[in-house]
Structure formats: structure tokens, C-alpha cells
Amino acid sequence: MTSNDQEKVFAVVVTYNRKNLLLECLDGIIRQARPVNGLILVDNASDDGTETLLFEKGIISELPPLKIEGKWERVMLPEVFGGIPLTYIRMEKNEGGSGGFHEGLKKAYLSGGDWIWLMDDDIEPDPHCLEGLLAFSSISKCIHPRKYFLDGSPHDWEGYYSEKTGRRVFQDDPSFRK
């Protein structure tokens, strides 16, 4: 599969009680050189005022009710979030990262996403991150970017599992072009 502008990319962000970091993450998504086709934001029942801040910043146009049974979901108009369609899902309780990503993945898949870009709320993607990821779409159906700490040092986690030994092999060259 080669990536092109016709393929739909949905970003899925799961958040829990990190509203200020979430705003930086959302800003990074809006600033992508290759825009996403939609954002699924899953709020894992934050109790730090995340939904109020999102409302005050104009990211969501309606506050969820105080009591939720199951989940509360609203699709915002693209004008609300920098021209990108946004679906806000507020969970009744914190389902953990896996529960939040399950809801987000399901929604992105059912919305017709060709690619689903997953991230936590504490990630701020570089403006060319998605564009760079999609450059490798012809060689893999699962692509992940390199992470850097605030001081600019890389987070070393690139590697693969050896089929022979079943052990993790770390790559010195994160581009895998050796």
C-alpha cells in the first residue's frame, strides 16, 4: 500500500488528567504538514477539568453531562478544531490506555480510516511527523516515529524481535536502512 492524499488518516488521542499536555498534543496535530482527516479524542473520565478547558478553548462545543452511562460521544464541526473533524468521546470511567485506545480505534476504523495514528496526550508531534511516517507506508502497515526527550536526546526503543531467538534486538540506526 502506498500512501497518498486520498488515503484517510485518523489520529486517535487518549487523555487522562493531563489537560495542559493535551493542548500541546492537539496543537501538534493541527500543525501537521500533511493534515489528518479526523481526530478521535478519548477522554478517559478525567477529573482535572479537561472537558471544561476543552470547552473554554473552543475545541469542543458542548460539555458532557455530569453523569454518564457508558460513554458520551459528540462530533464537532471541522471549524471547531482547525478545519479537522473531531469526535470527542468521554468515558464513564477510566478504562486505562487499552480501553481508551479500543474505543478510539473502533471509531476511527468504522469512520473509514486507512491509517490510524495513535498517541497519548503527552506527545507533541513534530509538524512533519505524519508526512515522515507515511513515507514508509509502502514497506509496512505498522509505522511508529522516533521519540525525543525535551533535551533533544533520543528515546532508544527502536528494534525488532528475532524470529530465531524470540529476543529483542535493538537497532543502532532508527531508519532501518542498513
pLDDT tens-place string over residues 158-169: 666 677 887 777
User: Cell numbers at residue 3, please?
Assistant: 500512501
pLDDT tens-place string over residues 84-127: 999 999 999 999 999 999 999 999 999 999 999 999 999 999 99
Element (H, E) at 55: helix 50-56
Cβ-based burial of 30 (10 A; exposed 0-12, middle 13-18, buried ≥19)? middle
With CA atoms as reference, report the closest residue to 177 among 124, 127, 139, 131: 139
Mean pLDDT for the chain overall: 86
- Least confident range of 36-50, 78-92, 119-133: 78-92
Query: In whole angstroms, what is the distance from residue 136 CA to residue 130 CA?
Result: 10
